[in-house]
């Protein structure tokens, strides 16, 4: 594992920085040099920026050029991701980095040609249909059925906690196609048009009054067999590829470090104003700083495996579990720093200046250790696949 760029990667990093400085950063913003600063964005600016990335193949940099990528190496892609996240710039369209690599690895040439280009252009939005009311942590126990009927599958069942389903055009969904097979072996991975008759989406409003999640119902929904990714009844193994990509990224580590930088600046300014926080809370900030360094190291482990041609599995689970639990510890520390004001949904004074939005962040990170696989599941994967321990 290398921590320093080769001369070629250093040159590439500078190319990315120059592009970001020219096309994303806001000149003259007083906090521009603050590592915790992120330039504000609106929908129009974000769309224009993503279009520029797409034109260069940088939305899916490791994909072949014929599918809209840039044929980059894993390490070039990692450097690009680092620099974009450091700048607080958008890096991808919704779900592109989940379903896109899965179609790239397991899809047919026809499926790649049909779905990948519009995905890169932002012409379609995707959502993930995995969790069910009775199948969350034990995802392989899912019961949504897909019954073969000629050239179609007929789907009946329900999914829950479906992020962005109310805006999605397509869903990548795991369904049970052989109810008599062992639970991991009777599942198929399908691409479902959300405008199909029989699909119903209902909102789930979270405690921060945000509409991110939904429950989705399927009643005799027909999906062409040609929309299956991989072999019938082998969809679990296709799905785990999606999960591995979902759990292996540098974004969470960089976001955590920026959060800690903002907290440290807030603590310093309070001390300068004669209102220091308690020593125990200052130590908490220091602990979070150390932990963000560990989070970044875990990301380096994952990208090192990818650079050698491997697919991170147990290591991706370590990265996901540690990062999601760290996000909750950071939110807790913010609540401690804010004191009684942490109960307010809108920050004030120095908290607003340093973006210490304690209450909203504390509520928003509650599902972090549930989404994309619970911490309990991640620990099971680490124990069995990493440490060789027997299944309990």
47-63 pLDDT tens trace: 889 889 989 989 888 78
Which structural domains are found in the chain, ordered by start?
7-92 (1.10.540.10), 126-233 (2.40.110.10), 248-386 (1.20.140.10)
Token look-up 């962005």 returns 164
d(CA 21, CA 28): 12
CB atoms within 10 A of CB 353: 14
CB atoms within 10 A of CB 26: 11
> Could you report the per-residue pLDDT of 254-295, keeping only the tens digit for each?
999 999 999 999 999 999 989 899 999 999 999 999 999 999
216: Cβ–Cβ under 8 A, 6 or more apart, which residues? 129, 158, 159, 160, 162, 165, 171, 199, 200, 201, 202
Higher pLDDT, 59 or 170: 170
pLDDT (average), residues 37-49: 72
pTM for the full predicted model? 0.80
d(CA 170, CA 125): 6
Please name the residue ranges forming H helices in the chain. Answer: 7-23, 43-56, 74-86, 96-106, 109-121, 235-247, 251-272, 279-307, 314-338, 349-353, 358-364, 375-381
d(CA 248, CA 303): 8
For the chain, the maximum distance between any two Cα atoms, rounded to a whole number of angstroms, is 75
Q: What b/e sequence results for 246-263 when a residue is b if at least 16 CB atoms lie within 10 Å of its CB, and e otherwise? A: bbbbbbbbbbbbbbbbbb
> Could you report the per-residue pLDDT of 97-154, keeping only the tens digit for each?
788 888 988 999 999 999 998 888 888 999 999 999 988 777 889 999 999 999 999 9
């Amino acid at each position: 594992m290398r921590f320093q760029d080769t001369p070629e990667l250093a040159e590439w990093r500078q190319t990315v920085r120059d592009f970001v400085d020219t096309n994303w950063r806001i000149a003259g913003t007083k906090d521009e040099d603050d590592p915790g600063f992120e330039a504000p964005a609106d929908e129009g600016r974000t769309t224009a920026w993503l279009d520029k990335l797409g034109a260069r193949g940088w939305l899916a940099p490791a994909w072949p050029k014929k599918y809209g990528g840039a044929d980059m190496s894993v390490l070039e892609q990692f450097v690009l991701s680092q620099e974009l996240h450091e700048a607080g710039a958008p890096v991808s369209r919704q779900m592109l980095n989940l379903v896109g690599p899965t179609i790239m690895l397991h899809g047919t040439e026809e499926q790649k040609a049909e779905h990948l280009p519009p995905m890169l252009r932002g012409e379609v939005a995707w959502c993930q249909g995995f969790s069910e009311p009775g199948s969350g942590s034990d995802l392989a126990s899912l019961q949504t059925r897909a019954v073969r009927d000629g050239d179609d599958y007929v789907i009946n069942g329900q999914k829950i906690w479906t992020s962005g389903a109310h805006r999605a055009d397509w869903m990548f969904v795991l369904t049970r196609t052989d109810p008599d097979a062992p639970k991991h072996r009777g599942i198929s991975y399908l691409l479902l048009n959300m405008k199909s008759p029989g699909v119903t989406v209902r909102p789930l409003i979270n405690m921060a009054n945000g509409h991110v999640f939904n429950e989705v119902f399927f009643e005799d929904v027909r999906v062409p067999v040609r929309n299956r990714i991989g072999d019938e009844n082998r969809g679990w193994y296709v799905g785990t590829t999606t999960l591995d990509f979902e759990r292996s990224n540098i974004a969470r580590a960089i976001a955590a470090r920026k959060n800690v930088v903002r907290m440290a600046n807030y603590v310093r300014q309070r001390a300068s104003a004669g209102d220091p926080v308690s020593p125990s809370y200052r130590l908490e900030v220091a602990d979070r700083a150390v932990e963000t360094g560990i989070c970044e190291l875990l990301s380096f482990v994952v990208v090192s495996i990818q650079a050698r041609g491997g697919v991170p599995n147990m290591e991706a689970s370590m990265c996901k579990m540690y990062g999601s639990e760290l996000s909750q510890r950071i939110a807790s520390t913010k609540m401690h720093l804010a004191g009684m004001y942490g109960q307010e949904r809108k920050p004030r004074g120095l908290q607003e200046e340093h973006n210490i939005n304690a209450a909203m962040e504390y509520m928003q990170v509650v599902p972090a250790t549930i989404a994309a696989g619970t911490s309990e599941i991640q620990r099971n994967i680490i124990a069995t696949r990493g440490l060789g321990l027997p299944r309990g």
